[in-house]
Amino acid sequence: MLSIDDLLEVLARGELTVQARMADASNATLLAVSEWNGVEITCVYKPTAGERPLWDFPDATLGLREVAAYEVSAALGWEIVPPTAWREEGPFGQGMAQAWVTPTDGGEMAPGAGLVEVVDRGKVPEGWIEVVEAHGPGGRPVSLVHADDVSLRRMCVFDSIVNNADRKGGHVLHGRVQPLAEPATYGVDHGVTFSEDDKLRTVLWGWAGESLGDEDLTDLARLREAMAADLGSRLSLLLTRREIARTRQRLVDLLREGRFPLPGDGWPSLPWPAF
Do residues 206 and 129 touch, judged by C-beta distance below 8 A? yes
Other Cβ atoms closer than 10 A to 126: 5
Contact 99, 84 (CB under 8 A): yes
What is the CB neighbour count within 10 angstroms for residue 180? 17
Whole-angstrom distance, CA of residue 8 vs CA of residue 2 = 10
- β-partners of residue 194 are none
What are the tens digits of pLDDT across the range 65-93? 999 999 999 999 998 999 999 999 999 99
- Predicted confidence (pLDDT) at residue 183 exceeds the cutoff of 90: no
> What average pLDDT does this structure show over 124-148?
90
Closest CA to 103 of 90, 94, 91, 112: 112
pLDDT tens for 89-113 read 999 999 999 999 998 776 677 778 8
pLDDT of residue 61: 96
- Cα 103 to chain centroid distance, Å, stands at 17
CA distance 122 to 101: 33
Per-residue model confidence (pLDDT) at position 91: 95
- Reported as type and span, the H/E element at residue 266 is none
Helical ranges in 77-123 per DSSP H? none
Mean pLDDT of the chain: 92
pLDDT tens track for 237-273: 999 999 999 999 999 999 999 999 999 877 789 987 7
Which has the minimum average pLDDT: 129-133, 159-163, 239-243, 255-259?
A: 129-133
Residue 181 — pLDDT band, cuts 50, 70, 90?
low
**Spatial CA neighbour of 17 closest among 38, 45, 39:** 45
Average pLDDT over residues 212-226: 96
CA distance 173 to 97: 17
pLDDT tens digits for range 8-62 = 999 999 999 999 888 777 888 999 999 999 999 999 999 999 999 999 899 999 9
Closest CA to 145 of 185, 186, 204: 204
